[in-house]
Structure formats: C-alpha cells, structure tokens
C-alpha cells in the first residue's frame, strides 16, 4: 500500500474531553475497494473516531487525508462534497418525505441546486433516484412515507442516500444495529458488492462479529482510544490481546491466573 | 454622585420582583422542560388577589398575611392548572406548550378584567414602611429597602431548600435525569406538581409585593413576561443564580439606560441579551441542553404538490372569492381584504415553522416593519402607492436579514425567545422613537392610490397579491430549496451529511418568510390607513402562530385555512363578545390539547382512515399505488 | 419465583430489539444474562423497569404483573435497577445521590443504611461530600449500586457491573455482589465477562440478537463449549 494508493489516510488522530483521552494517536490507511472494520468495546472511542473522519467533530491533533487532500476539521458538508458518504448508527433520514424524495434531496445537493427556488423536487432526477433505490432493493417503496419503512429498509435507504454523491468512501457506523439477523447479512453482502463493483472504500464499526469476520478485508481494534491490533480477520481472531479485551476473555478472565484466586 | 447611587438602589428594588418571577420560571423549566408563558399571568393574579385581600384584612398582620395568602392561593390555582392542563402536554412539542400556556394567559387577562374591572387599582401601602428616608438629599422609599433585601433572602432560602431538604435533592436529581429518578421509585407526577406550585408561588409573591409600589392592572402579565424571558435567557434557563444575576443586570440596565439613552432604553436590554446569546447560547449560568428534542407524536404524511383537480378547485375558490364585491357590503369587503392579508402573514410563518422547523414567536416584527416601511415612504418621502408597496417590505427584509442571522444560530425554545425579543425591539422602537414613528399615536393617513381606493378594488388588489404570494410560497415548498430546508428540519445530522449548509438555508428561509410578512404588513397599512406599534406586537405574533396551528402545522395548506377561520372568528368575536380573549385563549388551549393536528390535519386524517368516505376519491389513487407494490 | 418474564418483545421506534424473551429469577438467586455488545441485555433491563416505551409481554414480579406499571411504581415495588451508563447525578454529592435512592424498609428484603453501604463500599465513605461528576468510573459504579440499594429492593438488575473497570475493582465488585447475595438479595446481572459471571452466578441465560438462545447452570454452560464459544468467546 503506497502513499498514493491510499484513499483515506489517518495520521495520529487525537481527541480528548475534559482531560480524558477519547482517541489517542490513531493512524491507519484505507485503499479503494477495501472493506475495513473498526471494532472495540463500548467507550473505546469508535464513534469519536468516526465523527472526526467526516467532520462531525474536530480532532485536537492529527490529520485526515482523502486521496492526498487534507480534510482535517472540515465540516461534514464539505467532506461529503469530496466524496464521502455516511450512514449512522441510528438511522438519520427525512421522515416527512417519501422514500424517493429522501434520495432526491441528496441528488439536489450533489447537483448544487439547493438554492434553486423554482424546479419541482419530486420530478428532479427521478430516474437516478429510482436507480439508487433499485440498487439497494427498496424501489418498491419509492412513494411510501419514509417513516413507514421497516428498520431494515430504512438502513437500506440510508445506504442509497449515502451513494447519491458517487462516493469514493463510505463511513458506516454500526450498519446492521437493530436489524433482524437475516437482514444484517443481506445488507452487508449488498454493501460489499457495491463497494467492490464501484471500487468504493468502506470503513464500518460493528458489534456483530459474524458480519465483521465475513465481510471485512481488514480489521482495526480500538481500546481506550488506541489501536491495539490491526490485520486480517484471521490475525485479529487469534490475537491474544484482542481476545482478552474484546472477543470474550475479559480482563479478569485468564483461567491460569484467576481460577484459584477468584473464589 | 448620590443620584447615581439612588438610581442603582432603585434598580435593585425592581430586580426583586423580576428575580422572583424569573426564578419560578427557571425552576419549572428545569424539571418539566416547559417554558411557562402563563408565568406573567400568575404574577398578575398574585397582585390582584393580594389587592383584594389587603383591602379586606386590616393591620400589619392583615397586610403581610394577605400578601403571603395571595401567593399561596395562586399557587393552588397553579396546581390545578398543572394537573388539568400541563400533564396532558408534557410530551408535546415545545411550541405547543408555549402556545397552551399563552392561551391560559389570555384567559386569565379577561377573567381578571371580569373580576377586578379594567381600571388601575391602587393598593395599600405597606404598614410601617410607608415613608421614604433621605439619602444625601435623595428620597428612597422605605419599602424598596425591603425588596432589596428580599431578593438575596429568597435566593438563599431557595438554595437551602434545594440543598438541605430531601425534596430539593429529588428536584435537582430530576432536573438532570428524570427517568433515573423514576427508576429509583420516585413518583415524578407529584414532584412536577410541587415544583410547579413553588414556581407559581414565587411569581405570585413577586406580583403581590408590587401592590404598594405600582398600580395593579390587566396588562402587567405581558409586561413582566417579556422581561422575565430576557432574564432567564441571559441568566440561563434552569439556573436560579443566573436568574438573580440577570435580574439585577436587567434592572440596572433599565435604571441607567433611561438616563443615558432615554430613547432606546428598552432596546438596550434586548441588545445585551442578543450579545449574551451569541457568546453563550445557554446563558451566563446555563448549561448546554442535551440533543434538541425531536417533534414527536405527529405522524407525518409526505407533502404532495396539488393534483390537477385540486388546482382547478383552487382557481374555482379564487373566482368565488373574487365575486364577493357583487354580493357583500363594504364592511364585508374590508373584512375580506383583512383576511386575505392575514393569509399571506400566516403562510409566511408556516413556511418558516412548518417547512423550516423554526417556530418564531416574533413574526409580527416583520409585519410591523413592512407596515412602517410603507408609512415612512408614503408620509415622509411622499412616494406613490406602487413604489411604497414594492419598497416598503424591504424594511422587513433588512430586519429579517439582521435578526435572522442571530436567530438561526439557536433552535427550539431559545429560538422562540430570541425572535420574541427581536420583535419587542421593533415594537419598542416604534413605541419610543416618537419623533419618527409618532410613538403610541402611530402614523396616520396612509391612503391607497385613487385607483384602488374603493373597498371593492382594494379587496381585489389584496386578493390578487395574496393568491400570488400563496402560489409562490407553495412553489417554494416543493422547490429544491424547500426540500433542502425541510431536510434541515427533519434531520440536521443527515442534511449536513449530504452537503447542505443548514444555517445558510435557514437564514435564507427566515429572510423569505420575513419579506412576505412585511408584504402583508404593507398591505395592512393601506387597508387601515395607519400604522401603530401594535402592528409588531406580541399579540399579533401569537395570532400568526395560532393561525398556523389551527390550520395544521404538519400540512401544506393548513395556514391558509387557519388564517381564514381564525381571522373571521376573531373579528366576529370582537364584535359580539366583550370576552374575546377568554374565548380565544380557551380555543388555543383546546386546540393544543385536543386537536394538535389542526383543521386540515384532522380532516386529512379522517379521509385517510376512511371515516369520511365522501372525500375518499381523491386519496384512492395513492392507496392503489401502495397496494401495487 | 421472584421475577418471571414471558414473551417479552421490545422496540425502539421501528427497530425490533427483543424477540420473545423468557427468563426467571428465583428468590435469593444470582442469575447472569450473558451476551455480546448489542445483543439486547440493556434493552431487556430497560424493558423490565418500564423505560422502553414500546414493549409487549408479561412481567411478573413477586406475584404482581408489572408489565404495564409506570417506572416509579416498579421501583417502589422493590425492583431495583442499576443502569449500564451508571447515570450518577453528577451535580449531587455522594450523600445526596444516596438520598435520592432512599425508600422505606420492606419486609422480605435486606435492609440497607448509609453506614452499611459505606462498609460495603469503603471507597465511598471517604468521599461523602464529593460531587458525583468528580468520581472515577469504579467509584461511580459503586455509587450507582449503593444508590439503588438505598431503596431496600428485593431484586436488583445490575447492567454490566464490571464494564470498564480495572481487574482489582472488578474483584471488589464480585465480593460486594456476593455480600449482597448473602444478605438475601436476588440479583439479575448482565455480563460479557464470563469469568466474572461464573464467580458470582448460580445460573445463566445467553442472549443473542434479541433472543434467548441458552439457559442453564454455569456448569451446564461449561459443558457446552460450542455454545459458549459461539456466543461469548469467539
């Protein structure tokens, strides 16, 4: 992975709240078409880290580069214009609009028509909107109020919105949280397919290890704001420190040391 | 020198009442998250009840007993209000809470007039504190000394109450995390009721203590509530210390402002407030609010452009309306023109609050600016009517550009209070800058051009401009700009994440809405032939909110229907009953509690659920489309 | 049975989180609800105390159906709740936090006083007047448990009591929980840390994606390494 090939390059990202380090010196790279998972215990700093990548929060130190361009501290709307789509842990859509209109708003923005006072939005790039809805498999609901969608479909719609600006990078915060098991696998397969076909880099956080191990090309493990491991799913699964902190053997769980002392 | 000291001390005395009312408002907000507009009404009731009691009870004991009893009686009324009204709207959007408590204020005003009459009442002097003492040649009323001491004493007592009693600890805990307090077995219902009672008690006490200083009348409520909003916003909603510091600050600004800038003394306070809000949006002692509350409960159907039939129907109604001069009297035509003008006004606010999610409590500011703009151009510059109608609203546009920039930095209750404050600035200028605006006497003789000088012609002009404005704003709603604006209201997070600059969009929407309101004001000036400060008053701002609410906040065309119904109703009420405020207040309260979706919203809901089969045809296509999937 | 839950379904808005959850806690028993992050443990607890607006199913506590009861009535009935986020009243001192939790003694439940709780959690005794917001994570965890115990509950729900704590504090926590059990308290705790759970619990359930997928004693669980590895330790 050479410097030029990196779609996203994060260097020494640091953020603290009231003297407590939430994220400390996080660095990693992501190439086009790669699917990268960020995992770690609750409170490890995943969300903070994510929010700094798309400008939701400003880092105290460190640098975020997208295709070699420094985007550190840019507001989310600028980061989006540079080709970064985002989905949220709790879906953020426009409940007073139809499913299609949700996508059309993003298309309007992508076409820099926000201050157009005349055209009819429901007719704006209808075909493109329907194409995106079909891509994620919710084309049948185009006329439905967005608020009526089942949660799984809402997550798909979010993905369609995130794809409206032809992104180079997708940031997905717990993409399958709150979904039924079957939907989870389908959504991630869909994401993976789109990412590979369009050569989009994907960074996602997730607690569902099935999803992580099946779809991630590479995994980053965050604990107390620092990266403690990075590698293929296989490497990470075997990493004793990761097992100890996140994958199941908690801090106290170390049979040889604790078995006798505990009781 | 001693003169300034006396002025300072007099400011401190005024601060006491302000602090009592503001701390009550703050305490209530801290726990219930309701900004109680009716707090001014409780203050006024406190004064009235104290007046009656002290007139009947004699001696020092009677006087002081009367004051305290008045506060207790009003607090009990507050308990009733909390149990009967507020408990039903704790989960409503904050706009509804503000409106419901405003409706209550209107009712109380009329009831007070009914019971105590419309005239100023002069209360008894406090026994033993009647005189004044000499301070380096300046007279200081003895009673003021008591008030000056009272502020800090109440502050201290509240501190003890909140830190040294179980009840206080529970209240502080509930302010921070209501759910956790409930999980620990505390019944919030009674906690809320008791907090409300305390808040009302403080307001009523503040009012009762005013009777030896000031005449009691039925306009005390609005006068104090605006000051109190300013105090809690400067001090920070929910902070008692903040209320105290801000009450002193505001009172001193008033006391000295009148010496230094006599013309703009009222504005001074609002300017300080605007600066505080920009520097510290949560006030001097306030804390940042948790994530802004979503507007829950109102299930939303996506808006659709009118179908071909609906457009025809619109044209049909317009033709019918245009035929009114054939049937109606001149009076009907004047009323018709007024209703048309208020349709523009309501639709402009609807654009701001329903499409943009910004509930302004001071939309009349731009209406008033438009009216004054026309009046200045017509009377001072002597321009013809066409030029005035085109240029007059620009004053509203400029006002909206300046005020809007500040206002869109905030959201929710703070946005509502800041817009209210801006409207009060406009009102104050109109009221105080007598040389230019004529003050309370207004500017008279703003007559329309000869071409439209008959009632019928003016009616047609108003109708045409209204139709055009409604069409333009409807086009805006469905334009990319309208959708982007709605996107910022629906989800700030998502709209920023798809490249929309929320603040800029909202600012633009604020200016558009303000300009249309100003256009309505401009027409109104010609309709009445005069302009007055009340054209920018609170009452008018609230009228516009009620029109939108009555029609249905969540509908596209509700504002039109709401404006017609409300305006017709209120003109009728004013001519048929003396108690128009009582009726109007009751209408608002019932509306908020029973029909939060308004006329059009409720009607739509009935059609959709099949209860009105006659109207079903229009919606059938949508159902079929859904079934086809 | 102290607590029995049947066919509990919960939703956050359109998201369906819990699917037909059944579980029981006997008097004096310590039961662990195991599962990974996001499996539904916290939602289960929040549903039990009425903090999830949309829930369906039957919840019987000491013979009374509490599935429709408001949160404060559930707390009054003696079902204590210690949330995962701790939710300390940060502006209040330690003593004041305890005061909020205070309820009269009830029969059939162990009785706690301030002094008894300070003995259970000695760290708290040294900071009676410190504001809750100025305490470490471990101290806050102790305070949140102590606060709930001030209500003299007969059953407590402990949501991830060991989360984010250092091994030493976790051990202290284990001792405290065992003391609580000795006093006669019934406990339902959620946990990701199997070893910690094994130290203190009699029985366990495993929850995965909102469904209960295992129920048995700790020995049963050890006998099924396949289940354990599939749902807890990957």
How many CB pairs lie under 8 A apart between chains B and C? 60
> If pLDDT is split at 50, 70 and 90, which confidence band does C121 have?
very high
CB C189 within 8 A of CB C170: no
State the burial class of residue A1 (Cβ atoms within 10 Å of its Cβ: 0-12, 13-18, 19+): exposed
pLDDT score at B294: 42
Q: Which residues in A lie closer than 8 A to residue C162 (C-beta atoms)?
A: 250, 252
**Which of C17, C20, C38 is the best substitution to test chain A (most A C-beta atoms within 10 A)?**
C38
Q: Do C162 and A255 touch (CB under 8 A)?
A: no
Residue A96 is nearest to which of B302, B475, B629, comparing CB atoms?
B302
What is the per-residue pLDDT for B384?
92
CA distance A145 to chain B (A): 6
Min Cα–Cα distance to chain B from A137, Å:
13
The partner residue sitting opposite A149, judged by closest CB among C14, C17, C233, is C14
Of B133-137, B139-143, B185-189, the range with the lowest mean pLDDT is B133-137
Q: Report the residue from B169, B173, B183 with minimal CB separation from C71.
A: B183
Q: How confident is the model at residue B611 (pLDDT cuts 50, 70, 90)?
A: low
Would you call B185 and C103 a contact, using CB atoms and an 8 Å cutoff?
yes
Of C71, C147, C151, the CB nearest to B179: C71
Chain A residues closer than 8 Å to B491 by CB: 92-95
- Name the residue of chain B whose CA is nearest to C70's CA: B182
Asked if residue B133 has pLDDT above 80, the reply is no
**pLDDT recorded at residue B299:** 47
Tell whether A25 lies on the interface with C, counting CB pairs under 8 A. no
Instruction: State whether residue A242 sits within 8 Å of chain C by CB.
Output: no
B597/chain A closest Cα distance in angstroms: 15
What subunits touch chain A, counting only 3 or more CB pairs under 8 A?
A: B, C
Secondary structure element (H or E) that encloses residue C155, with its range: strand C155-159
- Between A76, A96, A144, which is nearest B497 by CB? A76
The answer to whether residue A185 neighbours chain C at the CB level (below 8 Å) is no
Measured CA to CA, the distance from residue B557 to residue C137 in angstroms comes to 53
Is the pLDDT at B135 greater than 80? The verdict is: no
Q: Please, which residues 125-154 of chain A have a Cβ atom closer than 8 Å to chain B? A: 140-141, 143-147
Quick one: pLDDT at residue B552? 85
> Could you tell me the pLDDT band of residue A248, with boundaries at 50, 70 and 90?
low
Question: What does the pLDDT read at residue B626?
Answer: 31
Which chains lie within 8 Å of chain B at 3 or more CB pairs, if any?
Answer: A, C
What are the pLDDT digits (tens) for B473-492?
Answer: 999 999 999 999 999 999 98
ipTM: 0.94
Give C50→chain B minimum CA distance, Å. Answer: 8
* C-alpha distances out from residue A207 to A184, A196, B219, B431, C185, Å: 12, 23, 60, 63, 33
Q: Give the per-residue pLDDT at A35.
A: 95
How confident is the model at residue A2, as a pLDDT? 46
Task: Tell me the nearest-neighbour CA distance from C95 into chain B, angstroms.
Answer: 10
* Tokens linked to B162: 């909140």
Band the pLDDT of B615: cuts 50, 70, 90.
very low
Residue C82 dihedral angles phi and psi, to the nearest 5°:
-115, 105
- Range with the lowest mean pLDDT among A36-40, A103-107, C153-157? A36-40
Is the Cα dihedral B18, B19, B21, B22 positive or negative?
A: positive
Q: Do A249 and C13 touch (CB under 8 A)?
A: no
The secondary structure of B297-336, three-state, reads CCCCCCCCCCCHHHHHHHHHHHHHHHCHHHHCCHHHHHHH
Is residue A18 less than 8 Å (CB to CB) from chain B?
no
pLDDT at A166 over 70: yes
- Among B268-272, B474-478, C209-213, which is the least confidently predicted range? B268-272
Q: Is the pLDDT of residue B401 over 70?
A: yes
Tell which wins on pLDDT, A262 or B211.
B211
pLDDT digits (tens, 9 = 90+) for B55-71: 998 888 889 999 999 99
Minimal CA separation from B499 to chain A, in Å: 4
Tell if the CB–CB gap between B166 and C99 is shorter than 8 Å. Answer: yes
Percent of chain C with pLDDT over 90: 65
Interatomic CA distance for residues B494 and A174, integer angstroms = 16
C-alpha pair distances (Å), B369 with each of B405, B413, B523: 17, 24, 12
Q: Say if the Cβ atoms of A248 and C162 lie within 8 Å.
A: no
* Cβ <8 Å between A251 and C166: yes
Residue A15: which H helix or E strand, with range?
Answer: strand A6-17
Taking only the tens place, the pLDDT of each residue in C156-188 is 999 989 877 777 788 889 999 999 999 999 999
The predicted structure's pLDDT at residue B624: 32
Residue B416: the pLDDT is 86
A1-83+169-176+200-263 is classed in which CATH architecture?
3-Layer(aba) Sandwich (3.40)
Nearest to B173 among C70, C73, C100 (CB): C100
pLDDT at B356: 92
Average pLDDT over residues A166-190: 85
> Max Cα separation, chain C?
49
Overall fold of domain C3-231:
Rossmann fold (3.40.50)
Q: Which two tokens stand for residue B474?
A: 């409807």
**Strand, helix or coil at B408?**
coil
Smallest Cβ–Cβ distance between C76 and the set B169, B176, B185 belongs to: B185
Q: Confirm or reject contact between A109 and chain B (CB < 8 A).
A: yes
Cβ of residue A104 closer than 8 Å to a chain B Cβ: yes
A40: left (phi over 0), alpha (psi -120 to 50) or beta: left
Beta-sheet pairing, C64-65 with C15-25: unpaired
How far does B35 lie from chain C, in Å, by closest CA?
A: 23
What mean pLDDT do residues A123-129 have?
A: 95
Distances (CA, A) of C65 to B16, C26, C42, C62: 52, 16, 21, 8
Extents of the domains making up chain B? 16-218, 330-596, 597-629
Looking at the DSSP bridge assignments, the partners of residue B216 are B121
pLDDT > 90 in chain B, percent: 53
Mean pLDDT, residues A1-5 taken together: 50
State how far residue A208 is from chain B, nearest Cα, in angstroms: 24
Tokens linked to C132:
């809750």
Q: Hey, are the CB atoms on B483 and A141 less than 8 Å from each other? A: no
Percent of chain C whose pLDDT exceeds 70: 97
Q: How far apart are CA B436 and CA B424, in angstroms?
A: 18
Q: Quote the minimal CA–CA distance from B420 to chain A in Å.
A: 27
Q: Which of B172, B177, B188 is the closest to C72 by Cβ?
A: B188
- Give the range with max mean pLDDT: A11-20, B104-113, B429-438, C220-229: B104-113
Q: Residues of chain C whose C-beta is under 8 A from some C-beta in B?
A: 49, 51, 70-76, 81, 83, 87, 89-92, 96-97, 99-103, 147-148, 151
Chain C residues with CB under 8 Å of B294 CB are none
For residues A175-189, give the mean pLDDT.
79
Task: State residue A184's pLDDT score.
Answer: 81
Higher-confidence residue: B351 or B552? B351
Q: How far apart are CA B375 and CA B382, in angstroms?
A: 9
Extract the runs of DSSP E, i.e. beta strands, from C101-199.
Answer: 155-159, 186-191
Going by pLDDT thresholds of 50, 70 and 90, the confidence category of residue A211 is: confident
Q: Is residue B300 very low, low, confident or very high in pLDDT (cuts 50, 70, 90)?
A: low
Decide if pLDDT at A255 tops 70. no
Residue carrying structure tokens 């199997």: C194
Listed range (A2-16, A121-135, B43-57, B426-440) with the worst mean pLDDT: A2-16
Q: Could you tell me the strand order of the sheet in which A61-66 lies? A: A20-31, A6-17, A61-66, A69-70
Residue C102, token pair as written in the block: 């205070």
Nearest residue of chain C to residue A234 (CA atoms) = C234
Domain spans of chain A?
Answer: 1-83+169-176+200-263
| pLDDT of res. C136 | 81
- Among A20, A242, A250, A254, pick the best mutation site for testing chain C contact (most C Cβ within 10 A): A250
For residue range B164-217, list pLDDT tens digits in order. Answer: 999 999 999 998 888 999 999 999 889 999 999 999 999 999 999 999 888 999
Q: Mark yes or no for CB contact C14/A181 under 8 Å.
A: no
Q: Do the Cβ atoms of A75 and B484 come within 8 Å?
A: no
Search chain A and give the residue with CA nearest B475.
A118
Domain spans of chain C? 3-231
Chain C residues closer than 8 Å to B176 by CB: 89-92
- Is there a contact between C194 and A253 if contact means CB atoms under 8 Å apart? yes
What residue of C is the nearest CA neighbor of B167?
A: C100
Residue A257 pLDDT exceeds 60:
no
Across residues B408-427, what is the average pLDDT? 85
**Given this model, what pLDDT does residue C99 score?**
96
Architecture (CATH level 2) of domain B330-596: Orthogonal Bundle (1.10)
- Average pLDDT on A228-246 reads 84
C touches which chains (3+ CB pairs under 8 A)?
A, B
Report pLDDT for B1: 65
Chain C interface includes A181 (CB < 8 A): yes
List of E strands, A196-250: 201-205, 218-223, 226-231
Whether chain C has a CB inside 8 Å of the CB on A207: the answer is: yes
Name the residue among B560, B394, B576, B594 with its Cα closest to residue B469.
B560
């Amino acid at each position: 992975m050479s410097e030029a090939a990196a779609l996203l390059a994060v260097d020494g990202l640091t953020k603290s709240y009231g003297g407590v380090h939430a994220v400390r010196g996080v660095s990693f790279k992501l190439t086009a078409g790669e699917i990268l998972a960020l995992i770690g215990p609750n409170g490890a700093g995943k969300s903070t880290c994510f929010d700094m990548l798309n400008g939701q929060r400003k880092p105290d130190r460190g640098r975020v580069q997208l295709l070699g361009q420094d985007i550190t501290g840019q507001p989310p709307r600028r980061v989006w214009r540079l080709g970064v789509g985002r989905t949220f842990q709790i879906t953020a859509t426009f409940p007073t609009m139809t499913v299609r209109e949700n996508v059309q708003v993003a298309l309007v923005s992508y076409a820099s028509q926000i201050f157009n006072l005349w055209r009819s939005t429901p007719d704006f790039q209808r075909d493109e909107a329907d194409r995106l809805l079909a891509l994620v498999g919710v084309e049948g609901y185009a006329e439905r109020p967005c608020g009526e969608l089942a949660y799984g479909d809402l997550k798909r719609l979010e993905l369609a919105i995130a794809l409206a600006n032809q992104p180079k990078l997708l940031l997905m915060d717990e993409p399958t949280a709150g979904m039924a098991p079957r939907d989870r696998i389908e959504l991630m397969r869909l994401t993976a397919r789109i990412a590979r076909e369009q050569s989009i880099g994907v960074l996602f956080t997730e607690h569902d290890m099935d999803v992580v191990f099946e779809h991630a090309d590479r995994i980053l493990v965050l604990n107390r704001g620092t990266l403690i491991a990075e590698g293929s799913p296989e490497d990470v699964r075997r990493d004793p420190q990761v097992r100890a902190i996140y994958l199941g053997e908690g801090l106290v769980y170390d049979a040889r040391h604790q078995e006798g002392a505990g009781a | 020198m001693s003169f300034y000291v006396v002025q300072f001390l007099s400011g401190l005395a005024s601060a006491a009442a302000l602090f009592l009312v503001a701390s009550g408002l703050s305490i209530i907000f801290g726990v219930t998250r309701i900004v109680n507009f009716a707090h001014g009404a409780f203050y006024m009731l406190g004064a009235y009840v104290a007046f009656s009691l002290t007139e009947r009870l004699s001696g020092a004991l009677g006087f002081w007993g009367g004051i305290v009893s008045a506060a207790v009686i009003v607090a009990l009324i507050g308990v009733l209000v909390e149990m009967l009204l507020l408990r039903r709207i704790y989960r409503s959007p904050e706009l509804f809470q503000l409106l419901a408590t405003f409706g209550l204020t209107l009712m109380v005003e009329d009831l007070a007039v009914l019971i105590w009459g419309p005239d100023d009442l002069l209360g008894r002097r406090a026994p033993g504190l009647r005189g004044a003492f000499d301070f380096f040649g300046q007279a200081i009323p003895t009673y003021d000394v008591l008030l000056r001491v009272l502020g800090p004493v109440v502050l201290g007592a509240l501190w003890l109450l909140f830190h040294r009693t179980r009840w206080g600890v529970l209240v502080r805990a509930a302010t921070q995390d209501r759910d956790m307090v409930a999980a620990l077995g505390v019944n919030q219902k009674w906690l809320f009721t008791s907090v409300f009672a305390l808040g009302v008690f403080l307001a009523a006490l503040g009012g009762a203590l005013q009777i030896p200083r000031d005449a009691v009348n039925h306009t005390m409520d609005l006068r104090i509530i605006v000051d109190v909003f300013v105090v809690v916003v400067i001090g920070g909603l929910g902070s008692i210390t903040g209320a105290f510091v801000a009450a002193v600050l505001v009172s001193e600004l008033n006391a000295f402002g009148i010496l230094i800038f006599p013309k703009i003394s009222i504005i001074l306070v609002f300017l300080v407030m605007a600066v505080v809000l920009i520097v510290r949006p949560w006030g001097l002692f306030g804390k940042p609010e948790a994530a802004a509350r979503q507007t829950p409960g109102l299930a939303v159907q996506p808006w659709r452009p009118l179908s071909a039939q609906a457009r025809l129907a619109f044209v049909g109604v317009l033709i019918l309306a245009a035929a009114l001069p054939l049937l109606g009297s001149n009076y009907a035509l004047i009323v018709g023109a007024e209703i048309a003008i208020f349709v523009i006004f309501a639709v402009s606010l609807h654009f701001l609050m329903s499409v943009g999610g910004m509930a302004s409590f001071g939309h009349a500011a731009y209406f008033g600016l438009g009216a004054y703009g026309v009046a200045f151009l017509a009377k001072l510059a002597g321009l013809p009517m066409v030029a005035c109608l085109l240029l007059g609203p620009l004053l509203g546009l400029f006002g909206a550009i300046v005020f809007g920039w500040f206002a869109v930095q905030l959201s929710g209750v703070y946005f509502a209070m800041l817009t209210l404050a801006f409207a009060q600035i406009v009102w104050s200028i109109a009221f105080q800058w007598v040389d230019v605006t004529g003050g309370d006497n207004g500017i008279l003789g703003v007559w329309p051009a000869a071409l439209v000088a008959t009632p019928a012609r003016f009616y047609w002009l108003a109708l045409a401009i209204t139709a055009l404005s409604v069409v333009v704003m409807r086009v805006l709603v469905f334009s990319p700009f309208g959708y982007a604006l709605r996107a910022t209201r629906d989800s700030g997070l998502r709209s920023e994440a798809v490249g929309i600059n929320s603040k800029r969009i909202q600012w633009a929407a604020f200016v558009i809405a303000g300009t249309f309101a100003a256009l309505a004001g401009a027409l109104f000036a010609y309709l009445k032939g005069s302009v007055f400060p009340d054209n920018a008053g609170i009452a008018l701002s609230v009228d516009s909110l009620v029109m939108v609410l009555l029609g249905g906040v969540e509908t596209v065309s509700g504002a039109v229907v709401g404006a017609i119904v409300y305006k017709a109703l209120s003109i009728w009420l004013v001519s048929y009953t003396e108690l128009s405020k009582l009726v109007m207040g009751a209408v608002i309260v019932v509306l908020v509690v029973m029909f939060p979706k308004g006329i059009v919203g409720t009607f739509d809901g009935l059609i959709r659920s099949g209860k009105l089969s006659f109207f079903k045809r229009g919606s059938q296509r949508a159902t079929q489309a859904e079934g086809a999937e | 049975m102290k607590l029995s839950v049947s066919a509990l379904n919960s939703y956050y808005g359109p998201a369906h989180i819990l699917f037909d959850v059944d579980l029981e806690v006997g008097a004096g028993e310590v039961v662990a609800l195991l599962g990974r992050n996001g499996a539904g443990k916290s939602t289960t607890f929040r549903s039990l105390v009425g903090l999830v607006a949309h829930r369906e199913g039957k919840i019987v506590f000491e013979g009374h159906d509490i599935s429709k009861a408001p949160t404060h009535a559930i707390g009054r009935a003696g079902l204590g709740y210690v949330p995962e986020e701790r939710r300390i009243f940060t502006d209040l001192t330690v003593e004041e936090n305890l005061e909020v939790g205070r309820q009269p003694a009830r029969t059939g439940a162990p009785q706690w006083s301030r002094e008894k709780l300070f003995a259970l959690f000695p760290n708290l005794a040294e900071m009676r007047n410190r504001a809750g917001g100025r305490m470490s994570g471990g101290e806050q965890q102790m305070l949140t448990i102590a606060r709930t115990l001030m209500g003299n509950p007969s059953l407590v729900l402990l949501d991830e009591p060991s989360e984010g704590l250092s091994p030493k504090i976790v051990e202290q926590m284990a001792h405290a929980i065992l003391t609580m059990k000795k006093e006669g308290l019934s406990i339902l705790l959620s946990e990701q840390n199997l070893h910690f759970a094994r130290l203190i619990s009699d029985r366990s359930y495993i929850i995965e994606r909102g469904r209960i997928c295992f129920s048995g004693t700790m020995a049963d669980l050890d006998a099924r390494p396949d289940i354990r590895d599939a749902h807890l330790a990957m």
